[in-house]
Amino acid sequence: INSYDEEVIQMFKNFEYGDVKGAIEFFTTRFCKKFLQPIGMLNVILVHLAAWLPAPDCWKRTGADVNVEDSHGITPLLLAGSAIGKMTSNEIYKYNSVVQTLVQGLHQTSFTLIQVFIEPLHTAFKLGCLKAAETLLNVDPPLNKCKKLRTVLYFAASVGITQRYLTHNPVSSFSLWIFTIMKLIEFGDTVFIVLRKQPLIFLHWYHHITVFLCTWHSFGETIGFGSWFSLVNTFIHSYMYSYYALKAMQVRIPKWISIMLTVLQIVQMFWGMVITTSAYYYVHIAQIQCNVTTSNLKFSALMYLSYLILFVNFFAQSYLSNKCVNKAERKNEIKTQ
């Protein structure tokens, strides 16, 4: 254990939430490892498949350009950038050494209650991304060059709703660029609905259009917290579109799964409100210099609030009202008999 490890452990000891270090390590290694790492892998695979998409020159970076500040974003590896096809094994090896220096930023970390419970989720997601990159590119995993404790503590402490994470950097920018392109591709399900002459509900087209506009606006404004939105959205949509794929293959899926997906969507809207409110606090109350504009805060807050109302209404109409109707019909049948 070096001085940086001791510093971090001491921070956690001074942080009055019990055995935070042990709780985070337990939660990350036992639960998130099995649950979120596959999602992280899926994210990297999708980004690799989308790597042929054009991107601005400022985001075409190689392993030699990596620095400590580039370690944030939904895709923690610069390997997921448009430079994937240009990077040699030596350049990738240079990236591995960056992980060893990440702990140097720990003294800038601010601890909040939300980080203790939320960051293990993000940690597992990033570990999944690292594993996927290792498999796809056949290189030595960066995590092998760091002690497990140091890696868990670093990601759990420094990547989240902090001043540094609200700061613009090339990795989060490219992640948002890919995410923006994916929002355009997601209009494809609307095309299939129209071609099949199925009803196009208001929630569907309103959600697709507004999230597309908001994502492009965030990309243009170089919003620092965009990675948080894209992280949660990618996590939920990976399950949602898998569900749609199975439905298209006429696989019979239990109703409780569709209910859970709708609940996850509602949770996502609550999450968006939390992120937006946190960003407002950092910018306008704590007076911290962050890459977040007032116009984007207003846009995001109104969008997520409208989504929350619409999805709650959809849940009530689709599942709660049907149960009431079915119960009434059964009562009528009993009376008739």
- The pLDDT confidence band at residue 306, using thresholds 50, 70 and 90, is very high
Within-domain flag for 49: yes
Within-domain flag for 225: yes
Determine the pLDDT at residue 324: 52
Residues 121 and 199 in one domain: no
296 Cα distance to chain centroid: 18
In 10 A of CB 106, how many CB atoms?
17
Residue 207 appears among annotated catalytic residues: yes
Residues 195-220 have a mean pLDDT of: 84
Residues 280-295 have a mean pLDDT of: 77
Residues 312 and 215 in one domain: yes
Give percent of the chain with pLDDT exceeding 70.
42
Higher pLDDT, residue 203 or 180:
203
Q: Which tens digits make up the pLDDT trace of 14-45?
A: 443 444 444 445 444 444 444 444 544 454 44
pLDDT for 305 beyond 50? yes
Residues 177 and 320 in one domain: yes
Determine the pLDDT at residue 330: 53
Lowest mean pLDDT of 8-12, 108-112, 117-121, name the range.
108-112
Residues 148 and 194 in one domain: no
Within-domain flag for 17: no
pTM (2 d.p.): 0.49
Q: Which tens digits make up the pLDDT trace of 44-58?
A: 444 444 444 443 333
Residues 184 and 313 in one domain: yes
Task: Find the domain containing 213 and state its range.
Answer: 170-328
Within-domain flag for 23: no
Determine the pLDDT at residue 287: 75
328 Cα distance to chain centroid: 42
pLDDT for 222 beyond 80? no
48, 72, 168, 207: the catalytic one is: 207
Residues 210 and 144 in one domain: no
Determine the pLDDT at residue 212: 86
CATH number of the domain encompassing residue 79 = 1.25.40
Residues 203 and 314 in one domain: yes
Within-domain flag for 30: no
Give me the long-range contacts of 20-23 (CB less than 8 A, separation at least 24): 20/116, 21/149, 21/153, 23/116
Within-domain flag for 293: yes
Within-domain flag for 25: no
pLDDT for 125 beyond 60? no
Burial of residue 265 (number of CB atoms within 10 Å: 0-12, 13-18, 19+): buried
Burial of residue 306 (number of CB atoms within 10 Å: 0-12, 13-18, 19+): middle
Determine the pLDDT at residue 147: 33
Give me the long-range contacts of 189-197 (CB less than 8 A, separation at least 24): 189/241, 189/244
Structure token digits, residue 317: 């109409």
Residues 50 and 155 in one domain: yes
Q: Which tens digits make up the pLDDT trace of 249-277?
A: 888 888 888 899 999 999 989 888 888 88
pLDDT for 314 beyond 50? yes
**Mean pLDDT, rounded, of the chain:** 59
Residues 140 and 216 in one domain: no
Give rounded-to-5 percent helix, strand, coil for the chain: 75, 0, 25
Considering its fold, how many domains does the chain have in total? 2
Within-domain flag for 20: no
Q: Which tens digits make up the pLDDT trace of 81-90?
A: 323 333 344 4
The residues, any chain, with a CB within 8 Å of residue 232's CB and separated by 6 or more, are 268, 271, 272
Structure token digits, residue 253: 């899926």
In 10 A of CB 85, how many CB atoms?
7
Q: Which tens digits make up the pLDDT trace of 181-193?
A: 778 777 877 887 8
Residues 132 and 212 in one domain: no
Residues 155 and 253 in one domain: no
Domain boundary among 132, 164, 196: 164
The residues, any chain, with a CB within 8 Å of residue 337's CB and separated by 6 or more, are none
Higher pLDDT, residue 127 or 218:
218
Determine the pLDDT at residue 229: 76
Residues 176 and 155 in one domain: no
Domain boundary among 129, 164, 199: 164
Domain boundary among 164, 185, 216: 164
Rounded to an integer, what distance in angstroms lies between the CA atom of residue 200 and that of residue 14? 54
Higher pLDDT, residue 109 or 273:
273
